[in-house]
Amino acid sequence: MKRDKSFVYGVATAAYQIEGAISEDGRVPSVWDTYCTMPGRIYNGDSGDIACDHYHRYKEDIALMAELGVNSYRFSIAWSRIYSAKGVYNENGMRFYRDILAELKKYNIAPSVTLYHFDLPQWAQDLGGWENRECAEWYNEYARKCFDELGADVPMWITHNEPWCASFLSYMEGTLAPGYTNMEKALKAAHHQLLSHGMAIKSFREMGLPGQIGITLNPAPIYAESGSFRDDIARTAQDGYRNRWFFDPLFGKGYPRDIAMLFAARCGTSFDFIQVGDSDVISTPIDFLGLNFYSHTVVRYRSSCYLLNEDGHTDLPKTDMGWDICPETLVDLIQRIRLDYTDIPIYITENGCALKDCVEDGAIHDSERADYILRHLETIRNINRKGLNIKGYYCWTLMDNFEWACGYGKRFGLVYVDYETQQRIPKDSFYAYKGYIEKNPDIC
Ligand code: IFM
């Protein structure tokens, strides 16, 4: 596989996790504003009302990116700033993103813009949300507006962030907004998100925009806890649920029948929301694939579990989220994608870890995070030595922020945020990543 040598080093964020300013310049509530008001949903009763106040401090934050030495910044647009109701465009909301692009330009940092990162406008949820097929049309209208207004200045677009989370975790496992626990709702949400992705890709091509466009998934390499037949069934089910349900339709194979049968057996869906022609739309070719990689998943069989599997045991060191630290498993994931799906360029659009920081005399020591990041970068270097074409790496995340249901209780940032004062303090990992970028302008 041929690869040009330039490598993208970036940091990633998402609108609701950092912006705050939830009622300014015509922004209307998203499902996350609503979810945060529901008792018991978010750790400590936290919300994104203020978050990192990035809406007012974006210049300071972009200056930090420049100091870090990244050449790209991945951020998301809040749909609820851009459309205040169905069909009602809000130019004041768009202005904020224009300002961000202008600021990035000053430092020669390339924007990578995600259109959807979990924050459906509440008005769309009130009309049925992603369960409603029309939501794909509303999304496409929003995407076209963003392409039209910002397209000349954006080299890289991402339609959706982690549709597995935005459908199954949000509509079936109930751990993200809107917090439902219904498999059929989740299947509809996943399908309509994938459909909206394909529609936006078609719009992008029709509009003849200069940049590139793709989608970000968060697959995990799945391993069985043992070599038994039953643990392999568990692995197959988890792989279908987490990975193949998204990869297969996006890369032209249609939904995987084995896991479809398990879903149907569990929730009795008739799949009548999948229409003839949808798979062609969903598999419209993309320019690159984004992958958010944090860990692997190890499972074992349990017949009483909804999808026949539960988390297995490992002795590996874990992050503050309880996720195994296992950079080398990224190699398996990339090899599998190359074999089974595609040879288009891959970007690691998120990677990082929540860990407890050690605050000492105004400095933040987080050697474990630095180690985590550098080990993943070295793994990517090894993957590229095999010719597998990873084009870029975005660290999650620039600064500590609102970690969804974990509120402000988990810190993933390269920069520490004192939420009382909004002071930003670069951590040791910030300097470790900066040093790596300086020493390795090309990663292999
Ligand atoms: O904070 C999230 C992000 O919004 C999506 N990917 C995973 C991150 C860490 O949990």
Express each pLDDT in 97-152 by its tens digit. Answer: 999 999 999 999 999 999 999 999 999 999 999 999 999 999 999 999 999 999 99
Residue in 162, 373, 394 to alter for ligand 1 test, most ligand atoms within 8 A of Cβ? 162
Q: Among all residues, which ones are annotated catalytic? A: 162, 350
Q: Which of 372, 282, 280, 293 is nearest to 331 (CA)?
A: 293
Q: How far apart are the CA of 423 and the centre of ligand 1, in A? A: 22
Question: How many Å from the N-terminal Cα to the C-terminal Cα in the chain?
Answer: 14
> Angle 428-439/54-68 helices, nearest 10 degrees?
50
Q: Tell the residue nearest (CA) to atom 10 of ligand 1.
A: 403
State the pLDDT at residue 5: 64
Q: How far apart are the CA of 397 and the centre of ligand 1, in A? A: 9
Q: Which of 326, 325, 337 is nearest to 390 (CA)?
A: 337
Specify the ligand 1 atom closest to the Cα of 354.
9
| 426 φ, ψ (degrees, to nearest 5) | -60, 135
CA distances to 75, 200, 201, 210, 348 from 287, rounded to whole Å, are 19, 13, 10, 12, 14
Q: E-assigned strands of 21-148?
A: 72-76, 83-85, 88-89, 110-116
Specify the ligand 1 atom closest to the Cα of 403.
1
Q: How far apart are the CA of 433 and the centre of ligand 1, in A? A: 19
Q: How far apart are the CA of 199 and the centre of ligand 1, in A? A: 25
Q: How far apart are the CA of 207 and the centre of ligand 1, in A? A: 31
Alpha helical stretches, state H, 11-90: 15-18, 31-36, 54-68, 79-82
Find the helix or strand (DSSP H, E) in which 87 lies. Answer: none
State the pLDDT at residue 272: 98
Specify the ligand 1 atom closest to the Cα of 14.
4
Specify the ligand 1 atom closest to the Cα of 401.
1
State the pLDDT at residue 6: 86
Residue in 17, 348, 404, 417 to alter for ligand 1 test, most ligand atoms within 8 A of Cβ? 404
Within 6 A (CB) of ligand 1 lie 14, 17, 162, 292, 350, 396, 403, 412
Q: How far apart are the CA of 55 and the centre of ligand 1, in A? A: 19
Specify the ligand 1 atom closest to the Cα of 321.
10
Q: How far apart are the CA of 395 and the centre of ligand 1, in A? A: 11
State the pLDDT at residue 443: 75
Instruction: Record the pTM.
Output: 0.98
Residue in 76, 291, 318, 350 to alter for ligand 1 test, most ligand atoms within 8 A of Cβ? 350
Q: Tell the residue nearest (CA) to atom 4 of ligand 1.
A: 14
Cβ neighbours around 208 below 10 Å, total: 8
Q: Tell the residue nearest (CA) to atom 1 of ligand 1.
A: 403
The pair of three-digit structure tokens given for residue 231, joined into one six-digit string: 């643990």
Q: Enumerate residue ranges in the chain where pLDDT < 70.
A: 1-5, 444
State the pLDDT at residue 362: 87
Q: How far apart are the CA of 349 and the centre of ligand 1, in A? A: 11
Specify the ligand 1 atom closest to the Cα of 350.
6
| 225 φ, ψ (degrees, to nearest 5) | -65, -30
Specify the ligand 1 atom closest to the Cα of 117.
4
Residue in 397, 399, 406, 417 to alter for ligand 1 test, most ligand atoms within 8 A of Cβ? 397
Q: Tell the residue nearest (CA) to atom 9 of ligand 1.
A: 403
The pair of three-digit structure tokens given for residue 104, joined into one six-digit string: 């990035």
Q: How far apart are the CA of 403 and the centre of ligand 1, in A? A: 7
CB 10 within 8 A of CB 72: yes
Q: Tell the residue nearest (CA) to atom 2 of ligand 1.
A: 403
Half-sphere exposure in the Cβ direction for 105 (13 Å, CA): 10
